[in-house]
Chains A and B, each alone.
Chain A
Amino acid sequence: MATLAPEQEPLAAGLSARLRAVVGDDGLVTQPAALTVYESDGLTAYRVRPRALLLPRGTAQVSACLALLHEAGIPFVARGAGTGLSGGALALEGAVLIAMARMNRIIDVDVENRSALVEPGVVNEHLSERTRPLGLYYAPDPSSQTVCTIGGNVAENSGGPHCLKHGVTLNHILALTVVLPDGKVLELGGAGEQPGYDLLGLFIGSEGTFGIATEVRVRLERVPEGVETLLALFDRIDDASRSVAAIIAEGLVPAALEMSDREAIRAVEESVYAAGLPTDVAGALVIEFDGPRAGLDTDARRATEICLSNGAREVRRARDEVERQKLWAARKKAFGAMGRIAPDLLVQDAVVPRSRLVEVLDVVYATCAAHGLRVCNTFHAGDGNLHPVIVFDRRDPEQVRRVEEASREIMRACVDAGGTITGEHGVGLDKREYMPLVFGDSEMQVMCDVRRAWDPDHRANPAKILPIRVCREWVGPATHRHA
């Protein structure tokens, strides 16, 4: 599972000097000790120390850097906050890492048009904090929103709990300024209607393999007039799953519909995030409605009835924001709390049709039990987006093998149920080998060709998304070719 970092060939002195001339002396980092910080992203099982790190400011600097790397035939990888969970920000094949940390300005907030122009390094939640007093917010809210960046969200087409009603990153990006791998600058989208092919839609979620977004115009939504939040507690996990399908079938559109199982709730209650939830329940649903005040109460009542008639032990309703945050704790703090349980976590991201949740969750539990593994589930039930978290210790190779086997079996079951391998974390390095589960040779070939349209030399985030054997010619630029 872990990838060893080969000794990186340092950048040629001449190139370093030219890059320094662009980004300043403090904008190029080459000391191995300093680069160690950047050797992995949120998926810590993979580690590769980048060859060098660039910290540009603004589109012009990114463009100049990429033009120089293009000339030298050196690959590159853009990095936001490094919270990604698929190894997407790893600098493989001798790539130079380009961190967006210094490009973190909110350039403008256009209240009239409900949009904002930001640099890619802006932290997701900071944007909403800035715009909320103006009655607007940025809707996509990945669990890591307190640290993850808008640029990373664009690369991964990130989701989050509230995507059920409000849509994913794709639905909230109006325009991008993009630097292509040869340094050329391109505008995608815009205030008007873009003619021709939807290059903006294609770029979003391309995981840094087409180029680097250097400015992002996002669509903001009006802060909803009201919010109703429910927590439904179940003695049987199947009843919770059935309630999810019933709520959707009823035509209710919750802003969020999230599930946590017993293990996840226990982890939270045993941690500093404890919210006073009973630890003997089999599962809990957080159900949230937002929008104009009218109808919210009716929706909340209907959802409560559905849960109770599907066997909920109890349904709690938040009376104020403090209570609301407590109800959310069971979901939002689960990942953090699980970090206490074991040295390593493997988070999956498969999606299944919502009507198949009951059977797929059964498979998840049975598979982990069969492999003697502990699993917690805390996920976007309303979207059918599972996040089984397998806890393990990567120092034990036998355990690692069992984790990998269970993981593969779960993934296959999800695909067999009509699902897919990733809903919001991206393919990156981690799920590259699962791509043949959902795509045939023709689709994979088309994707290779699509990639080539943007990055003919395969220097943008090399060795990600597509299994290497698919693009036979794709083995990195000549100077860094592996055997």
Chain B
Amino acid sequence: MRERLERAGGPGILLVDTTRYRVHDCVPRCVAAPRSAEEAAAVLALCSAEGWTVECAGTGSHLANGGRAPKRVDVVITAARMHGIAEYEPSDMTMAAHAGTPLFVLQATTVPHRQAAPFDAPDGSLGATIACVRDGPLRTSIGTPRDNVLGLEAVSGDGRVLRFGGRVVKNVAGYDLVRLLIGSRGTLAFITRAHFRLRARPSNDETCVIAGPRSELVSAAQRVGVVLPAALELMPDADAEAWRLYVRLRGSAEEVRYAREQLSALVAGLQPIASSVATTLWLTLHAQESAAPVMVRLAAAPAHLDRTLACALHLAARADRITSATGLPDGWSAAAHANDGIVRVWRDRPAADQTALADAVLRAREEMREIGGTVHVPTASALPPDVVAWPVDEISLGIMRTLKQALDPAGILAPGRFVT
């Protein structure tokens, strides 16, 4: 395998450190690090021909995202050697970068032009951020990769270099394969480069907090939406008896001051937070969520936020077989993107009892269905194999299978993820 990959992709294409790219606990037989889309195409064409299974990676930090522990991984293909800014024209407010570029490089490059890359995550590569459609509290103001990625270069499972979308901000030529690839978690193609829109970097960035009981803060969150906060995050304290609503305001000094004045008129007890504390708060939240071995996302219309939160708390309690739950069991945390109706509940260590977790997820799914909501488990491996992490109806599944077949005919890319 090694020799054939080297012959196809060029000498030196394989990395020595395969353990860094293990998928869950499974160490790949080879790790290929192509330097171009063409090299990636040669590798994937060979893997397709041989039926070798492939996991796509950026820098290797999201390999567990969305998938179950595989029985075997033949090859990990990483964008680690494909990094750097490919195009940046500030007056277009767009940028192109190679998939392995760390997000902080995108931010550092845009700072001098008072612009910002629209990704709310401190770490990880551009490719993984798009493939896993990573978001954060700022999604309510800057959107997710779905709203900001304009064009993608990617290599299909059978080794075709494909370019969809482009560098312009409006584009309806042909089918929107860019949207299809965003969030496809390495199951359709290996992303090698992306064009995305940039945002103006706000000169002022403030976070305020209100403390109180959950239901009061849920209604406060609905009221403060009118000031168009950059983020509106509702989180419980450790015991979940008391809650905090964090309101993040970004813009010019004038805009932020105005929003703060409006806020004070809408809700009582608003406290400003020192900027260093706020920075730590947002970074810690990201870090905790990406490291969690158990992560469950519950989502429904924003007006159902209180029920969605209640459902998330029940889920954590049931997963730990605690019956008299008002708060969160030990090791569990939760946070809500209040404007978007999305609640995440996660555990900082593996599930105590997989069966209990599975029951809790299934119960939550039933409860959420009553309000048109959904429950899914990005850390799919936390569930027993017979419980679906990403429930999809039969008709959609049929369409998804054909789409998978179109881009990965040999079915080598992350087999079993999403469509089996």
Contacts and interface: CB of A to CB of B under 8 A. Distances in A.
Interface of A: 110, 112-115, 156-157, 159, 163, 167-168, 170-171, 180, 184, 186-188, 190-199, 201-202, 204-206, 222, 245-246, 248-249, 251-253, 291-295, 298, 351-355, 380, 383-385, 418-427, 431, 435, 438-440, 442-443, 446-447, 449-454, 465-466
A281 B222 CA distance: 48
Contact of A438 (B173, B177, B188, B375): B173
Interface in B63-118: 89-94, 113-115
B160 A442 contact: yes
B173 A201 contact: no
A163 B170 contact: yes
A294 B162 contact: no
Contact of B176 (A195, A196, A204, A435): A204
B227 interface: yes
A435 B156 contact: no
Contacts of B262: 292
Nearest to B371: A191
Contacts of B146: 198, 201
Interface stretch (B274-282, B348-356, B396-404): B396-404
Given A115-B301, A191-B373, A199-B399, A453 B171 contact: no
Contacts of A294: 254-255, 257-259
B193 interface: no
A450 B180 CA distance: 10
B418 interface: yes
- For the complex, would chain B's binding face be called helix, strand, loop or mixed by DSSP majority? mixed
Given A195-B374, A295-B258, A449-B406, A353 B167 contact: yes
28 contacts: A112-B301, A167-B143, A191-B341, A194-B374, A195-B376, A197-B184, A197-B403, A201-B179, A205-B175, A206-B175, A248-B93, A249-B90, A294-B255, A295-B254, A298-B252, A351-B169, A354-B93, A383-B168, A385-B170, A420-B171, A421-B173, A423-B170, A425-B172, A427-B172, A443-B163, A443-B174, A450-B177, A450-B406
Contacts of B258: 292-295
B180 A197 contact: yes
A180 B176 CA distance: 18
B272 interface: no
A354 B198 CA distance: 13
Interface of B: 89-94, 113-115, 143, 146-147, 156, 160-164, 166-177, 179-180, 182-184, 188, 200-201, 222, 225-228, 251-252, 254-255, 257-259, 262, 297-304, 341-342, 368, 371-376, 389-393, 395-397, 399-400, 402-403, 405-407, 418-419
Contact of A199 (B169, B188, B372, B400): B400
A440 B161 CA distance: 10
Given A184-B395, A446-B162, A450-B406, A167 B147 contact: yes
Contacts of B255: 292, 294-295
- The A interface, classified by DSSP as helix, strand, loop or mixed, is loop
B162 A159 contact: no
Contacts of A421: 173
Contacts of B184: 197
Contacts of B228: 222, 291-292
B89 A353 contact: yes
A434 B251 CA distance: 42
A291 B255 CA distance: 10
A107 B419 CA distance: 34
Given A291-B228, A418-B168, A453 B403 contact: yes
